[in-house]
């Protein structure tokens, strides 16, 4: 049976980084969490830790892979189904980042500028040897991203309501439904109601 152990944010970053430190090929870490969990912030900490060891690493935010507003908001600005199925271009993320990194040693850091609602006009980057990309954003589970390491920042429903801004509360049913419909076993499952005091799930047959 799983149990949860208190862990410091620094220790969590160290544990997540550890599996890719000796990799000789390109690797991908996925940090799955609602915007209220700020998965990009953790992704940046992981990248900083990897760079401190001399490894090449970078962050790719899912919000740089949104679809145009005309598609996201075709059925209104607060449509729950659109948020789950149309808002983010997971297929492009897989094609332009993960598959491109592994297959061609390059990746596109951003596809669409969400604020300006136009192409991000980002230049394709060439990966240094054994580059790690940390992909971060909501509802990554079930998208066939095939990450080498997966992290789930789990918020209770109460914490999700508490930490989501009023203008984004409409996304909560979509997030909860997606989680219910896409159960998965990440490499690291972290209770994240209090980011300064997270708790890591540890199976009984897993070393601490």
First and final C-alpha spacing in the chain:
14
Question: Quick one: pLDDT band at residue 169, thresholds 50, 70, 90?
Answer: very high
Token pair for residue 65?
């892979």
pTM attached to this predicted model: 0.95
Question: Using one digit for the tens of pLDDT, what is the confidence trace for 175-207?
Answer: 999 999 999 899 999 999 999 999 999 975 444
137 DSSP β-pair partners = 32
What pLDDT, on a 0 to 100 scale, did the predictor assign at position 193?
97
pLDDT of amino acid 83:
97
- Per residue in 96-133, pLDDT (tens digit) is 999 999 999 999 999 999 999 999 999 999 999 999 99
Cβ neighbours of 136 (radius 10 Å): 27
| Helix residue spans in 53-170 (DSSP H) | 69-72, 80-85, 90-93, 100-104, 157-163
pLDDT digits (tens, 9 = 90+) for 10-58: 999 999 999 999 999 999 999 999 999 999 999 999 999 999 999 999 9
């Amino acid at each position: 049976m799983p149990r949860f152990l208190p862990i410091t944010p620094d220790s969590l970053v160290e544990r997540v980084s550890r599996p890719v430190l000796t990799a000789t090929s390109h690797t991908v870490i996925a940090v799955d969490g609602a915007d209220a969990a700020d998965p990009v912030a953790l992704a940046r900490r992981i990248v900083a830790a990897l760079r401190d060891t001399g490894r090449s690493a970078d962050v790719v935010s899912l919000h740089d892979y949104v679809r145009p507003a005309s598609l996201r908001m075709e059925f209104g600005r607060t449509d729950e189904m659109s948020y789950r199925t149309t808002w983010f271009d997971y297929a492009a993320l897989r094609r332009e980042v993960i598959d491109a990194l592994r297959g061609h040693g390059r990746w596109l850091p951003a596809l669409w500028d969400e604020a300006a609602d136009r192409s991000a006009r980002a230049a394709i980057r060439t990966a240094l040897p054994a580059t790690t990309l940390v992909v971060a954003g909501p509802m990554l589970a079930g998208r066939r991203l095939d990450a080498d390491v997966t992290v789930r920042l789990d918020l209770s429903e109460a914490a999700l309501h508490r930490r989501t801004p009023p203008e984004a509360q409409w996304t909560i049913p979509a997030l909860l439904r997606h989680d219910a419909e896409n159960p998965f076993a990440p490499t690291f499952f972290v209770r994240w109601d209090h980011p300064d005091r997270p708790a890591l799930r540890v199976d009984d047959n897993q070393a601490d």
